[in-house]
Amino acid sequence: MIKQDRLVEEFMELVQVDSETGHEEEIAEVLKKKFSDLGLTVVEDDSKARTGHGAGNLIVTMQGTPGVQAPKLFFTCHMDTVAPGKGIKPTLGADGWITSDGTTILGSDDKAGIAVLFEAIKVIQEQNIEHGQIQFVITAGEESGLLGARCMDPKYLDAELGYAIDSNGEIGAIAVAAPTQAKIKMKIFGKSAHAGVNPEDGISAIQVASKAIARMKLGRLDHETTANIGKFAGGGATNVVCDYVELDAEARSIVQDKVGRQIEHMREALESAVQECGATCEFISEIVYPAFNFDENDDVVKLAQRAIANIGLTSRTFHSGGGSDANIFNGMGVPTVNLALGYENIHTTKERIRAADMAKAAEMVISIIRETTK
């Protein structure tokens, strides 16, 4: 059923098209032609006008088999890669692993997912497998903070259940939960003075910031929640009391309300320190993407588990510590989980993926589609 050699050839072709995040124009054209040649309807949205990236998101629709009643599905992958991703030279080793030449990433994150979807589509057409309507949403700018998905109009999404093909882990692993993320910027305004002549007339923004941070609960707060200060910047000459500091921070949790409480805790810590020292501040927070949290009683999980069992694998659910496009699409109201693809060492020049795992992932996608028609 699955033609592994064809799948590998497709993957290797895709990774040799440069598409570092922000520069998706060439890969988008390649993908539009490939989907169109398979007879699917392809729409590129207008999100690039807002993202500034090389392409918009591709929303591809495969009409259902006439007369078949099945829930509408969508599968999503992203077309962009991290750097260094120019001039990728993939190689299939005798051990079955596909790697780059070591000077670049490989791009299996997430072009392996795209290649898997192409193979699944071809097999469905060749085998006349009955199916309901299926969308394939290929996003731009995922590696730039899920930017493409965040700028996609929900009107394009016409599905009841969704699956991202973009997670680490062995085939059969299902990320059923992932955290929301809040980006936080704190600005502290002190008062400059000569550090050797009249330091008592100054207000050190560095000291104020340090007091505020000391009052904040940071790191792993519980099994669902984390917070971190990633950047502390300010100051200059040692003979001047520092009058300005900026802090960049984040908070994450798979429980949306917990992030809200952590944001308020950090705000209160900052404002109390500022007030005590006679300084002023600005506190700016933004929810970058929402959390999602499913369990084995949810339809989107049960369907994947049955499909995985049907291809002879054991499913495993887990909670991810990072966000993905699945977070965004859950926020649009479509239950979506993230399925493992088997790649390893992503975002490094040691990235690799097994050809056999890609073939198994294609089987999994087809099995999910078959399962909806039973």
Instruction: Write out the catalytic residue numbers.
Output: 80, 142
Q: How far is CA 209 from the centre of its chain?
A: 31
**Which positions ≥6 away from 14 have C-beta within 8 Å?**
27, 30, 107, 111, 114, 115
CA atoms within 13 A on the CB side of 220: 4
Cis peptide before 90 (omega within 30 of 0): no
Do the beta carbons of residue 187 and residue 244 sit within 8 Å? yes
| Cα-Cα end-to-end distance for the chain | 20
- C-alpha to C-alpha distances, 56 to 44, 59, 155, 223, nearest whole angstrom: 6, 10, 15, 36
Q: What angle do CA 117, 122, 128 make, to 5 degrees?
A: 120
The C-alpha atoms of residue 372 and residue 248 are separated, in whole angstroms, by 45
Farthest-apart Cα atoms in the chain, separation = 86
How is 247-315 classified by DSSP, letter by letter?
EEEEEEESSHHHHHHHHHHHHHHHHHHHHHHT-EEEEEEEEEE--EE--TTSHHHHHHHHHHHHTT---
The C-alpha atoms of residue 257 and residue 259 are separated, in whole angstroms, by 5
Q: How far is CA 295 from the centre of its chain?
A: 20
Residue 359 one-letter amino acid: A
The three-state secondary structure class of 213 is: helix
**Which residue in 177, 120, 152, 96 sits closest to 361, CA to CA?**
120
Beta-ladder partners of 34? none
Q: Treating both helix axes as pointing N-terminal to C-terminal, what angle do 355-372 and 4-15 enclose, rounded to 10 degrees?
A: 110
